[in-house]
Amino acid sequence: MWGVESRKWGCDDMQGFLSCAPSFKIRHRYAPSDIPPLMAHRLPNPAFLSNPTILLVKTSSLGDVLHNLPVVSDIARHYPDAQIDWVVEESFAALPKLHPAVRNVIPVAVRRWRGKLLSATAWREIAAFRSTLTAQHYDIAIDTQGLFKSALLMRGAQGLRCGFDRHSAREPLAASLYQRTFPVATGQHAVERNRQLAAQALGYALEGRADYGIRPPAIDRPAWLAEGHYAVLLHATSRADKLWGEPNWIALGRYLHEQNIRCVLPWGSEAEQARSLRLADAIPNALVPPRLNLNEAAALLGGAQAVIGVDTGLAHLAAALRVPTVGIYTATDPALTGLYAGRCAVNLGNAGHAPDVAAVIDALQQAAAC
């Protein structure tokens, strides 16, 4: 830490999933006798309670994966001996590994496979994933993604497959692939929806606030990062309308410099690197790091005095690490998917209403007091 002490599917099913074919037809209908009884908290199953094997499916994106971490903490609190595996996109596999209660991470590469359906290598990887998934019997599998593709991925799991009901899932068709579904109210933050689904499926009552349960990876402080306090400015995001103007970042960076806090400006693409370099030229003593992998980014964020970011997954990672974090929203409403980490995380702005620099500085002081 830096600076801080079943059932298998056929090839035709998988190909339909990868191509997102709307004509996919469900081949199996389950009679009630096919579905094992759910272990409700009023009638617990002693065998289940002793050492349950649980599969979680939350594949992407970065922020969505982070929002599922409190589910692991909740399960571990109620079932300390649970063996929890997690299916996740390969590019985000480092995140579930940060949680000590996750036993195995099962990576998928749907984004990559989808563009390589004629590749023998891709089909070998698909077969290897299917083999890994079907090799383990699970007492229960829970899809908190609520998408048709995630439900279809979970269809290969051996065990009771659970998910949102058709009125709660992001894609109602996903509910037809689950063996047991549960209603979860919309209009609340994604973290709480995930927690409520898992609590119903596993038969426990939710207690307390969401706990992400992770710490920064134990990576030595890199040579390019000098000793001293620093803040991370996450200016990059997936859409142009989510950006915060460069003059704003410069004004904020100069304020932080006056507080003897150095600004670090990560990047992930050539365009983002160019923006980082422009900002560093205008912010005294600012630093543009080399390109970072997810573990390196987590370590950088975890050692920061503060993180300020636009609507990007790395800002959620900082908040999950309980670093004082300010989220800047210019094109989306943070109520349902914004930063969610108590007083250490402050959301500003909304669709069409970007916060000014003064508001961000005020929020930063508020978050720093947590």
In the prediction, which pLDDT does 49 show? 60
Which SS3 state, helix, strand or coil, does residue 258 take?
helix
In the prediction, which pLDDT does 34 show? 39
Of the pLDDT bands very low, low, confident and very high (cuts 50, 70, 90), residue 2 is low
Please state whether beta strands 158-164 and 137-143 pair in parallel, antiparallel, or not at all (unpaired). parallel
**pLDDT, tens digit (0-9, with 9 covering 90-100), for 230-265:** 999 999 998 999 999 999 999 999 999 999 999 999
Predicted model pTM: 0.87
In the prediction, which pLDDT does 178 show? 97
Tokens of 131: 């083999």
Share of the chain above pLDDT 70, in %: 87
- Class for domain 230-368, per CATH? alpha beta
Q: Which CATH architecture has domain 11-202?
A: 3-Layer(aba) Sandwich (3.40)
Residue range(s) occupied by CATH 3.40.50.2000 in the chain: 11-202, 230-368
Q: Average pLDDT for residues 54-81, to the nearest whole number?
A: 97
**pLDDT, tens digit (0-9, with 9 covering 90-100), for 192-225:** 999 999 999 999 999 999 999 999 999 999 999 9
DSSP 43: S
In the prediction, which pLDDT does 6 show? 34
Which SS3 state, helix, strand or coil, does residue 91 take?
helix
Share of the chain above pLDDT 90, in %: 81
**What is the spatial distance between Cα 349 and Cα 332, in angstroms, rounded to a whole number?**
8
Of residues 101, 156, 150, 151, the one with CA closest to residue 132:
156
**What is the spatial distance between Cα 168 and Cα 189, in angstroms, rounded to a whole number?**
13
Amino acid identity for residue 190 in this structure: A
Q: Average pLDDT for residues 34-42, to the nearest whole number?
A: 39
Mean pLDDT over each residue of the chain, to the nearest integer: 88
The answer on pLDDT for 368 being more than 70 is yes
Give, in order, the Cα–Cα distances in Å from 148 to each of 163, 186, 277.
11, 18, 41
